[in-house]
Structure 1
Amino acid sequence: MMILKRIGSFLNAEKLPLASEVNMSEHAAGSIKLAIHHNDKGEGTLYRLKKNSLIHVHPGASLLGRRVAIYCNYPADGKEFNRHVYTQLQWCSPTGTLLSQSGGSKFVSIRDVDCYCTVHLNHSGAYHFYVQYEDLEGPQAGLYVQVEPNLTVGKGDSLTVLPLEAIRCQTVLAKLMGPVGSW
């Protein structure tokens, strides 16, 4: 079973929504469906997914009638991750066929909220999806996902899987800690 957590605003101390509050489909198969909405750039919201998840990004109703292209910085197979390199994803119809781009344009007209783009997330890391409109410059909508690493401790029969929350990081400013002997 896949666990999905939506982390609330980074700036406010909000209650985190439960996994059941996020639209999940076919969670037993390890896939989820997330909507991308007009003017929601996804800043302040992070979706945490397990490794090897399949994500279906679909347009929200606010994108209906717009000509859009969708991009993601998830690396292509065999490529190294580069935060600034984005790949255009292909929109699929509800039946799974690729939606055509008319006149050699990279933009597709959104006529149905059931169309989607699929990415198989088999590398750990933080990734960004964004939508660009034909008539406007730059990203107009987006979302962020974090693919959790598989953390293990021990060997053989004593191998234990650690949740990401088990890792703690402490930063200190050495010049404020006094003499080394008092550490």
Structure 2
Amino acid sequence: MWKPAALAVALPLAAAIARAQISTGATPVYHGTLKIVRPAVGTLDKSTGIGTLRVRGWRWKLKEGSNGIFPTREPLVVALGEDSFRLDAGSLTPSRNRKVFRYSAPHPGPRAFRSFRIARRAGGSYLVSFTLIGLDLSQLVMYNPVCENLAVIVGDDDGFTGVALKTRPAFSPHVAIPHPCKPPAWPWLNQS
């Protein structure tokens, strides 16, 4: 039989564990915001439509009420339009103080993350940096600019924005995301 003192300790502990559930899938439930702090840059092979993209220091603000993210124990996805890149749970390595989590590809393949870094900041926000290779940028061969959805998903949390993909100068091999745009509907936004 539980004694009142033991019950008083066990109930708050169980509630805290229930609130901080680790997601085993990368399907967003909590939709935060992703802010472009500085332009992303990359390259485009105009003959294939395949390119690279380097994002540095974008700010991700989790949705209020989120149960938080657990970068070492939850899968991670970066999605740009219909294209997505995934890192399995356990791929990110934490720093000593567990505020910065990193991934660096040992030998990146033709389509992969080259690197990913997420750093926790005060106030519940994160700074996100990553490099993708083998990204489908074929729309930029015909159209310039192109507005696409971009999301960083860790477990059941995402940071979402619309991005204006363009080549600079027009129709050159140099890609940039200088600012946000009003994106087409994001597939997960209507599920919450």
- TM-score under structure 2 length normalisation: 0.29
- Structure number with the higher strand fraction is 2
Larger Rg, first or second structure (1 or 2): 1
- TM-score under structure 1 length normalisation: 0.30
Q: Answer 1 or 2: higher relative contact order, Cα 8 Å, separation at least 6.
A: 2
